[in-house]
Structure 1
């Protein structure tokens, strides 16, 4: 009798296993292609650059890199360079500055706002954003001087080649080329060039956004810097994938302070201010914020491109209902993917002490958190306090904001569809997917003007390129720069569509 019961249990378990595997395989190999829009209008022509135009584009970026528009802090910027940059773009893009279609204004002395007036005033305008300031860069460890704009082995090197002067030059150069061809847009659009994005954007983009709000401007959509076309960054993806940031993480910068008594190093206290603070920040590093995979748009990202993963990862990604825990733990192993799934903790500044034989009375540390869309500033603060568990450590908020709203990204979203269509056209049919932008951009100030903000950099990035952003030897290939201009050239024309196309099932996925 016991043997019969045992065999029955085994058979039942085997049956359940077969059913489970069948469900996995059916879901994987009948995974639906995403609905995309059929464009019932004449496709605008792409841009084939002549050799002279290619050289013009390359020289435009090189010249921009050579102007050191560095932002050190909110109160310390290279204002001489910022002013020079304004004169530079006026010289390099004469049609943009002289066209009767375009109005130009300056905000905060150095930020630029252009309005390109379209012929159809019934169409809601859109906006393209970029910024002209860069983070500091010292020559040490760079292969070339960071502000030399040197061309080497098919690459242009220099601070800002990826963040964000390439996009700025790309937008203006695309518009310059279009104007030379006699282009007149149907849909009006704005171009905003902020001068202090790297130091919170309070005097540039924020002022522009407030002025547009005062003018009662509403935008159909907005495209700013953000996520790239990734290639080889997520293991198992067998093709480049364009990631479109439909939200961005929030941010919290905390100052941690420990106050003690000064003393001589010959009879130090049992616990110094440095020791107490070191223990506190160590606890923050050793206890990362909770894994939030599946609670934000990052799950949709993997589902959108499930069919692009190699076997057996395609099965896993098409069945996250069963494998989300495994995937989340796998993503946590790499810093580049770990940032997608949780609030990150970065210890950025530690200060204390003035002399080798003096025990300092005070120690301070600055910690920056980039907040996952499933959390808030308040929730992160509560976790920090529980993790440190030491009342001697004072916490003060230097700046903070919650994660941004999630922008629409379905077949009814005209801005998202225009962006997808342009990506598909320019990047040889590369699939795209909604994602979380892990950095912060000037676009957050424009939330009152539109529900549709998309953060995308039209550049293919490989894993080895990621650390170049804000790091050493920042560069962009000449080929990538040309494609970037082609992207904006095409996007501006695609945005002239007057209504959302009819959805249909395609044999490919955008």
Structure 2
């Protein structure tokens, strides 16, 4: 046999093995794609009761939200809040929800002057209680960029506009209105639960939610689960998904805020040095922006989110999402391309304040920048700080930590967890069987203060959000 014929025979055998391997790989990919469990409602508890509102009740609900938005409960900092408005809000909810404040099964307490704690007594005291959170305060709302005055509560085209309609007075009013209507209809819960309304969530929650936690801890309370604001039903936000999907935040990112300061000899603009404090700081900030922190896709719950939603994607994305063990590098690079999805896969860097100089012909002694990092669940404050120091790599830049906390633990979202399955079942019922998956809450909520009371903390706001709503 000639050597050429021998090589042809070996090559044919190799090609056959290669094709066989490819066939096996394709079969494995398709098998996992069409057998991966996703969005099954496992818990077989009581069915979720259908809620029917009268037209009068709908008007009451709308008026209650409009009235709440009109009270400017603004938090600027921990030291600067509109306490007059917060006190007015307390009187407002007493007036709008009289049954809640007069019911024999509800105990109401004011905490730290402006926060509120409601204890709703259930029939079976042997059952561990759960808790629902919301907050009263809002961030400042300068009139620029608003089509209507930000505290008007004006209605246009079926939408109510104003600061707090999304974050978070819709949840405050929704929870209290639901409780008011349940009392009106004679409903008595089997399981006890708490409602906590903090007054300073936008500036830390140290004087609101933390004080509520301290009060519950002093009574030895342990919670089955906690529900706070967070992710929502996303319609057209996740590219490639065919219908609205609901994401429940099973964790939230950590945070670290740094001050970067440079001090150099001052001077006159007519005799500038080779490098100024502004130039040195600008270079440091530029290095941070040009060198983002590493892509951590797959370390947090984001991989489970895409796997559970795999069946909602069109081909070939459904195959890729169901087989992240193979396609994770590709998916992670695609997610980096837009700010909203990039925030899911890494610790983000945001330059938020830059201060330097007082006069056009004076070279300043000091330049300072403030940088905020939202930390991916796969990293810690210490790790991020080390990366920042190595990236800046300039001893002339002084780095000081203003505040920091690590990402929250990932709450369970398995088939046996009562809190997650209850939320999933309710979302399916209310939002026309919308698929549900775990996600990462990229903002921070009061729920982070409750980690010692439960290991099951979930973040979900019950409304639909379209892609154009993200900028709101």
TM-score scaled by structure 1? 0.90
- RMSD of aligned alpha carbons: 1.2
Does 2:36 match 1:39?
Answer: no
Q: Deviations over 1:356-387 (max 9, x none)?
A: 11111111111111111110000000000010
Does 2:425 match 1:428?
Answer: no
Does 2:137 match 1:133?
Answer: yes
Structure 2 vs 1, CA of residues 144 and 35 (structure 1 numbering), >3 Å: closer, same or farther? closer
Alignment of 1:131-170 (within 5 A): 131-170=135-174
Aligned residue in 2 for 1:27: 32
Alignment of 1:73-472 (within 5 A): 73-468=77-472
Aligned residue in 1 for 2:68: 64
* 1:139 Cα offset (Å): 1.1
* 1:211 Cα offset (Å): 1.5
Q: Deviations over 1:164-198 (max 9, x none)?
A: 01001100010011111111111111111011101
3-state DSSP class of the match of 1:77? coil
User: What count of residue pairs does the alignment treat as equivalent?
Assistant: 467
* 1:29 Cα offset (Å): 2.1
State the alpha-carbon separation in 2 of the partners of residues 434 and 326 from structure 1. Answer: 21
3-state DSSP class of the match of 2:52? coil
Structure 2 vs 1, CA of residues 33 and 346 (structure 1 numbering), >3 Å: closer, same or farther? closer
3-state DSSP class of the match of 1:36? coil
3-state DSSP class of the match of 2:320? helix
State the alpha-carbon separation in 2 of the partners of residues 136 and 269 from structure 1. Answer: 40
3-state DSSP class of the match of 2:53? coil
Q: Is the 2:37–2:308 contact (alpha carbons within 8 Å) kept by the matching residues of 1? A: no
State the alpha-carbon separation in 2 of the partners of residues 346 and 157 from structure 1. Answer: 28
Aligned residue in 2 for 1:507: none
3-state DSSP class of the match of 1:247? strand
State the alpha-carbon separation in 2 of the partners of residues 40 and 126 from structure 1. Answer: 16
State the alpha-carbon separation in 2 of the partners of residues 23 and 61 from structure 1. Answer: 52
State the alpha-carbon separation in 1 of the partners of residues 57 and 222 from structure 2. Answer: 35
Structure 2 vs 1, CA of residues 40 and 401 (structure 1 numbering), >3 Å: closer, same or farther? closer
* 1:13 Cα offset (Å): 2.0
Aligned residue in 1 for 2:3: none
TM-score scaled by structure 2? 0.97
Structure 2: 5+ residue stretches without partners: 1-5
Structure 2 vs 1, CA of residues 260 and 33 (structure 1 numbering), >3 Å: closer, same or farther? closer
State the alpha-carbon separation in 2 of the partners of residues 34 and 165 from structure 1. Answer: 29
Structure 2 vs 1, CA of residues 40 and 388 (structure 1 numbering), >3 Å: closer, same or farther? closer
Aligned residue in 1 for 2:22: 17
State the alpha-carbon separation in 2 of the partners of residues 393 and 289 from structure 1. Answer: 19
Q: Which moved more, 1:140-149 or 1:44-53?
A: 44-53
Q: Deviations over 1:52-98 (max 9, x none)?
A: 11111111111111111111111111111111111111111111111
Q: Deviations over 1:198-244 (max 9, x none)?
A: 10111110111112111111001100001111111111111111111
Q: Is the 2:134–2:198 contact (alpha carbons within 8 Å) kept by the matching residues of 1? A: yes
Aligned residue in 2 for 1:495: none
* 1:34 Cα offset (Å): 5.2
* 1:443 Cα offset (Å): 0.5
State the alpha-carbon separation in 1 of the partners of residues 398 and 205 from structure 2. Answer: 28
Structure 2 vs 1, CA of residues 40 and 387 (structure 1 numbering), >3 Å: closer, same or farther? closer
State the alpha-carbon separation in 1 of the partners of residues 43 and 17 from structure 2. Answer: 48
State the alpha-carbon separation in 1 of the partners of residues 447 and 30 from structure 2. Answer: 41
Higher relative contact order (CA 8 A, sep 6+): 1
State the alpha-carbon separation in 2 of the partners of residues 16 and 39 from structure 1. Answer: 42
Aligned residue in 2 for 1:488: none
State the alpha-carbon separation in 2 of the partners of residues 139 and 97 from structure 1. Answer: 35
3-state DSSP class of the match of 2:229? strand
Q: Which moved more, 1:450-459 or 1:20-29?
A: 20-29
Q: Deviations over 1:481-507 (max 9, x none)?
A: xxxxxxxxxxxxxxxxxxxxxxxxxxx
